[in-house]
Structure 1
Amino acid sequence: ESDDSESDDNGDFEIFEDYAPSDYEPFRDPQSIESIDDDRFLWILIWIMSFWTRFNITEFATEALIKFMKLVLTEIRDDDFKDFPNSMFLTKKTLGIKDRFQHFHYL
């Protein structure tokens, strides 16, 4: 009878609940991947956004840098850079950057 009780005790240790997250595919919107026609200042915007992420500066400071660049570019080339964005929102829109959040629900 001791063999049965030992096997029951060992069986309790084999119960396992799977707490691993379910498989998911990150959201990718094919319509958001567009080619930007006006690339005269695209490299400047990409550099500013890279600088923002690399040095972890605030969004407020990054927006000030964007506004400063617009001021400099319009002073130098007048109307050539009138379409250069003057806010973080317009910069993200120009580059096609969108905030995408993945929600997980646990039952």
Structure 2
Amino acid sequence: MNNMIDFAFPYLLQFIREYSGKVDELVKHKIEAMKEEKAKKEEEKDVVLQQYMYAQLLPLALPVPPMPGMGGPGMGGGFAAPPPPMGGMGMPPMPPFGMPQMGSY
């Protein structure tokens, strides 16, 4: 049995060396991919933070520039003005307590 191990040992060493080299290469690529993904997320976060800072510096009278992915002008988000108040002091007229209004049945 010792003679067989003597003949197989050099091939076994070569196989282990090649296999460990391939594993090391895969691990290196995985680490690089993770670093690139992390850098990309940080860059996106920085862009958003810069947009928020820019929006805070603008005077309130100027419109805020559209953010990426939010659509351009006319893309939703337009709200109508509230109806004008009825009655005095911005409140609708109220009926007297306990008496229903005529025609509200």
TM-score category by the smaller chain? under 0.3
Higher relative contact order (CA 8 A, sep 6+): 1
Alignment TM-score, normalising by the size of structure 2:
0.28
Please say which structure displays the higher CA radius of gyration: 2
